[in-house]
Amino acid sequence: MKSIVTRVVTTMLLFTVLVFALKVEPIPKGATLTDYFNTNCLQMTQSQQMLKAYIMKGLHSNFDDPAGSLKKAIPVYDKRFENIKNYFQSRVKDKNAIKAFNKAEKIWKKSKKILESKPTKKGALKLKKNFSKMIPLLLQGSKPAAKGGLELLSLTGKLCRGPMKITIDYLLRIWGVNLPDYEADVSSIIDNFHVHLEELKKNPMNDVKTLTLLKKAERGFKFFEVMYKSKTTFVPNLLSRKADDNFKIIRAIKAEYKKQLKHK
C-alpha cells in the first residue's frame, strides 16, 4: 500500500511540474492596450515567480526545475520589459509615468544580474527589496492609460502577488534568512488579500464563471492563512505549488475580464 501511495504522489508531483513551471511568454502579435496592460501586470507578478525560483534553486530543490526555468524566463522577461516600456512611454504624456518606467528598468537590469548568478541569501534579500520598489514603478508607468476597467487587471494582479509574497518569505525563513518583520508583513498581506478579493467580488463585470473562480481563489488562500499560523514546517515544494495554483486561478479570472475589455 505504501509503495502505491508513493507512486501516486510522485505522479501527481510530476504532473504539477509540467503544469505550473515558470513560463514567461512574449507579447502577442497585434497586441492591444489591454494586452500590454495585462502583460505589464504579469511583469509584476512574474518578478515574484522568478524570485521564488531563485530561492528554490538556493535551497537545492529541483522541483519545477528552477534553474532551467530561470534560464529560459530571464531573456524573454527582459525583452518583454523593453517592449512594454517603449509602448507606454510612446503612448502616455505624463512625465512622472515616463520616469517611473526608466527607474524600473534600472532596477530590473541590476536584478537580472543577480538572477543570473549563483543564489545567495544576500542576493535573495536584494531581489526582494528591488522588486518591492520596481512593482509600484511599473504600475505608475502604466496608470495614465488605465481606463475603462483596466484597473481590474491591476487588482487581480494583487491577488496573485499576495500568496507569492507569503511563499517567498516562508521559503527565505526555511533557507535561514532572518526576517524581523515577517509576522507583521504576512498579517498585512492576508488582510489586503481579503480587501482586494471583496472589491473584485463587487465588480459589475462578474458572471457565474468569475464568481466561481474568485471563490476558488478564496478557498485556496486558506492554505496560506493556515500555514502562517501553524507551528509545523511546510516543505518548499508544496509551498511553491500552492502559490502557482493561485497564479493559475487568477490568470483564468483575468482572461474572463479581458474578454469584456475592448481596447485597441
Query: Does the pLDDT at position 234 exceed 90?
Result: no
For residue 32, the SS3 value is coil
Please state, for a pLDDT cut of 70, what percent of the chain lies above it: 91
Query: Does the pLDDT at position 263 exceed 70?
Result: no
Of 11 and 178, the structure prediction assigns the larger pLDDT to 178
Q: What pLDDT sits at residue 252? A: 94
Q: What is the mean pLDDT of the chain?
A: 88
Q: What pLDDT sits at residue 14? A: 35
- Burial zone of 99 (CB within 10 Å; 0-12 exposed, 13-18 middle, 19+ buried): middle
Query: Does the pLDDT at position 12 exceed 50?
Result: no
Q: What pLDDT sits at residue 180? A: 94
Residue 122: CB atoms within 10 A of its CB come to 10
DSSP H stretches of helix in the chain: 2-20, 33-58, 66-91, 95-115, 121-142, 151-174, 182-201, 208-229, 236-259
Residue range 139-164, pLDDT digits in tens = 999 999 887 778 888 889 999 899 99
Confidence of residue 262 (pLDDT cuts 50, 70, 90): low
Q: Where are the domains of the chain?
A: 2-259
Query: Distance (Å, rounded) from C-alpha 55 to C-alpha 204?
Result: 39
Q: What pLDDT sits at residue 150? A: 86
Under 8 Å between Cβ of 144 and 40 = no
Q: What pLDDT sits at residue 264? A: 42
Query: Does the pLDDT at position 20 exceed 60?
Result: no
Query: Does the pLDDT at position 175 exceed 80?
Result: yes
Question: If you average pLDDT over residues 166-194, what whole number do you get?
Answer: 95
